Structure formats: C-alpha cells, structure tokens
Amino acid sequence: MPFKSLRDFIDHLEQSGDLVRISEPVSTHLEMTEIQTRVIAEGGPAILFEHVRNPDGSRAEMPVLVNLYGTVARVAGAIGRTPDQLREVGETLAFLRQPEPPKGIRQAWDLLPLARQVLAMRPKSVKQAPCQEIILTGDQIDLGRLPIQGCWPGEPAPLITWPLIVTKGPSDKAEDNFNLGIYRMQRLDQRRTLMRWLKHRGGAQQYDRWARDKRAPLPAAAVIGADPGTTLAAVTPVPDTLSEYQFAGLLRGKPVELVDCKTIPLKVPAHAEIILEGHVSLDEHGDEGPYGDHTGYYNSVEPFPVFTISAITMRRNPIYLSTYTGRPPDEPACSAKP
C-alpha cells in the first residue's frame, strides 16, 4: 500500500525497527549533524529527535526527523519496493523520458497498460487537508517557530535542507506544469529566506520564464515533510512533459491528493506536515552561503532571489523533516544512488 503521509511511513519504520526515538535534549546547532554523520556512516536507522533545543537553549515547538532516506533499502521501502525492484522503476522512467515507437501492433498493445496507468495518476484535488489544520498569516508568521538546522561551523544562518519547492510557469505548456524540486533555503529573518536554485533546475527555469512574461514575483510553496513518494519524485529526473505530481502517483501506485494554498495560486500535498507559502522576488537578491557541500568543502558565496512568506500552514503537532549536506555518505547521496 502507498504511504499516504510522512507519518504513515514513520509508523511503518518504527514497526520494522528502522526508526529510533531520541528523548535526550539535542540542539539544532551542530549536534544533529554530528549524530547524523555517525549514524549514516553505519547504515543506521531514521532518527526522531523528540526533545529539540534551539541554539539559545529554549525548547523547540516540534520534533525533528532526520536520516529518513539514509539507506537504499529505506528509499526503496518508501515507494513500496525492495532494492532489487528499483531497476523496474528505472526502466519505466527511461521509457517515459525517451519513448521508442512500438514495433508492431503487439508491442503497442503491451504498452497500453502503462499509458493508462500514467493517465490514471493525475493528482486528486481536495477541499480540506491536514496540512492546513493550523494557518498562520500576518504577524503570526515566524520562521523561528521551526527547528531549522545549523549544519556546519561558520555558516551564516540556519538552513532549511529538505524543502520540496512547488512552482508553476507562466503558460499552459508542458514545461510550465507544476514543478517540484529540492532547493535549500537560507533563513534571513522571521518571514524571508533565500531560494538557492541553480540555473539548470526546473524551478529556476520557470522563474526565468515568469520574469519575462509576468514581471511580478513568482508564487512558490515550500513543502516540509511530504509523503515519501512525492518527495522522491521531486529528486528524480522526470521528463518535462510529466509533472512530478503525476510521477509521484506512479511511484505510489495511487494519485497524490492536493489542496489549494491559502494565499497563492498553487496546489500542495494535502497530507504534508508544514507548508511555507509565498513569492520569489524578481529584483531582491541576497548573498547565500558559505555552506558545507557534497565536496566536503564550503560553497562560495553567490546571490540568489529572496522568498517572502505570506502564510505558514501546518498539521497539528507537526514533524519537521531535516538533513545535512556534506561529503558522502550523506542523505542526498544515499537517496540519489537508487
């Protein structure tokens, strides 16, 4: 069965002994990274820090989940498969990216079930959603409520490391469908971050097209703690003709449920933990970094656009999903391998 939410996956991992709860106090600043680097190197379990401390020593409002995709087996299990079944997913993806014309009527007939399956995985819209049980707007917006991780010494600010960024381009063309990508976000203040998307990424390309056509800030949503199928679809090289939401349905074997955002014209996963709604500025940029990267070194400082939050919505008692980026083995590398 597909995991409807992150919580369903957490329950599954706990029942199988692949998740550990830590009740001792752990700080978001450096301590989480130190623990993660040891656990991931040993192929250890996912970790739920239940007693999280902010850098000032105060207790955070919510627990933090880390190392969720720290092994190939957990990545495969997140989409209901075993590691040896991942090749089948790859073959399907390869066909979708570069389909070959069928050789004869029989082969065309054999491909019909896949075509029907892809069409059947269009997302389903709902009017009410768990991700909007709590809605914060105006002066209630405060990123300080989130236990954002400080990963490495000397970094300029805490970093949102597992945000699933939802955007939509300015046209009805296939390349302007809903795009999902993972782009890190440096916290600037209570309601602003930087959006670090590299130029070749789908979100940045839609941003450029939007700037040319609309000349207004680009609506965007940062989803923290989506169901595992949707998260993994966001890090998969899906063809431009297919929305990641649709591919997520294919991975899950069931369409993704989406809900309209409260302040922007986008749809987000209904069963996610936390949603940051807002706009990416076309003319306001800030220096991002230096931050620890896959190379084992710190990135150079580069300018990226500012994301300003118009609403924070979340589930009751939300769970904050986090990770760190560093020299492999790290979680991004472990999730990229399969």
Q: For 282-321, what is each residue's pLDDT tens digit?
A: 999 999 999 999 899 999 999 999 999 999 999 999 999 9
Annotated catalytic residue, options 208, 240, 260, 293 = 293
Q: Is 220 helix (H, G, I), strand (E, B) or coil?
A: strand
Position 291 in a domain: yes
Is beta strand 274-288 parallel, antiparallel or unpaired with respect to 218-224? antiparallel
Neighbours of 332 (CB within 10 A): 19
Residue with tokens 């922007």: 264
- Rounded to two decimals, the pTM is 0.93
Structure tokens at 133: 């049980």
Q: Average of pLDDT values for 146-164?
A: 97
Instruction: Respond yes or no on whether the N-terminal peptide bond of residue 290 is cis (omega within 30° of 0).
Output: yes
Sequence-separated (6 or more) residues with CB below 8 Å from residue 197: 165, 181, 183, 203, 204, 207, 304
Q: What is the mean pLDDT of the chain?
A: 91
Q: Any catalytic annotation for residue 18? A: no
* Domain residue limits at 245: 124-336
* 249 vs 99, more confident: 249
Q: Is 299 helix (H, G, I), strand (E, B) or coil?
A: coil
pLDDT in tens, 110-138: 555 666 666 667 899 999 999 999 999 99
Total domains present in the chain? 1
DSSP 214: T
Of 201, 220, 235, 306, nearest in space to 268 by CA = 220
Rounded CA gap, 69 and 270, in Å? 21
Q: How many residues appear in the chain?
A: 338
Position 273 in a domain: yes
* 251 vs 158, more confident: 158
Position 38 in a domain: no
Position 167 in a domain: yes
Position 196 in a domain: yes
Position 63 in a domain: no
- The enclosing domain of 320 has a CATH number of 2.30.110.10
Rounded CA gap, 220 and 199, in Å? 16
Position 67 in a domain: no
Q: Tell me how far CA of residue 259 lies from CA of 130, 153, 155, 265, 269, in angstroms.
A: 10, 39, 35, 11, 6
Position 185 in a domain: yes
